[in-house]
Copies of this chain bind each other. A is one copy, B any other.
């Protein structure tokens, strides 16, 4: 426990460098030098660069999704949860598990990078499958007055908000006029939940799609 093991140092360096410079732009030579170990250590501990980046993402994503499901379990054990409760169960674990906004930003950037790659070796959807299934059902139950097809569309719009809003602190500062910071996780959470609740509960678009 005292010193981080080589494997953990590799995960730490990989998370930081992949997020900051990009997965493809970071060579295993830079990475192992940053981690203070030998080039061959990557192959020994993870096998390939692809397996390493998946391990990096999984280390952050799995506990977040486990906490999401635990919170949803607790809510549903107490009755039918309100929409805002389900939203908080979904969003809070991501924001609260990390001390500062930089950690959330790293995870978001890593996730976005993998999302834009079609390499079958880099598939990461399975990390979210069970969570997605459970929460889609919960949102449908919390929105009985909205057409389910509309709810599906809106969940599709909700995912980018959660996945991407904190992926770039500069964009966040610029678009928010310098008033928003991912470091203030409590405010970020409250604002995100109110925004998403408003979007999910909005009046449905009229059939004609009027001007």
Give the interface of A toward B (CB within 8 A).
20-25, 85, 88, 109, 112-113, 115-119, 125, 132, 136, 148-150, 152-157, 159-161, 163-165, 167-168, 171-172, 174-177, 179-180, 186-206, 209, 211
- Which of these, B115, B180, B200, contacts A198 with CB under 8 Å? B200
Q: Kindly report which residue of chain B lies nearest to residue A197, judged by CB atoms.
A: B202
* Contact, CB under 8 Å: A156 / B165: yes
How many Å lie between the Cα of A109 and that of B118 in the bound state? Answer: 11
How many Å lie between the Cα of A88 and that of B112 in the bound state? Answer: 26
Would you call the interface of chain A mostly helix, strand, loop, or mixed? helix
* Contact, CB under 8 Å: A209 / B195: no
Q: Kindly report which residue of chain B lies nearest to residue A110, judged by CB atoms.
A: B116
User: Shortest Cβ distance from A72 into chain B, in angstroms?
Assistant: 15
* Contact, CB under 8 Å: B152 / A160: no
User: Shortest Cβ distance from A165 into chain B, in angstroms?
Assistant: 5
- Which of these, B88, B125, B163, B193, contacts A164 with CB under 8 Å? B163
- Which of these, B193, B204, B209, contacts A189 with CB under 8 Å? B209
- Which of these, B22, B153, B192, B194, contacts A204 with CB under 8 Å? B194
How many Å lie between the Cα of A174 and that of B23 in the bound state? Answer: 26
- Which of these, B20, B24, B85, B198, contacts A202 with CB under 8 Å? B198
How many Å lie between the Cα of A21 and that of B118 in the bound state? Answer: 6
28 sampled A-B residue pairs with Cβ under 8 A: A21-B119, A25-B117, A25-B119, A85-B211, A109-B116, A112-B115, A115-B168, A116-B116, A149-B176, A153-B176, A153-B180, A153-B188, A155-B176, A156-B165, A156-B171, A156-B176, A157-B161, A157-B196, A159-B164, A186-B209, A190-B209, A193-B205, A194-B204, A198-B198, A198-B199, A198-B200, A198-B201, A198-B202
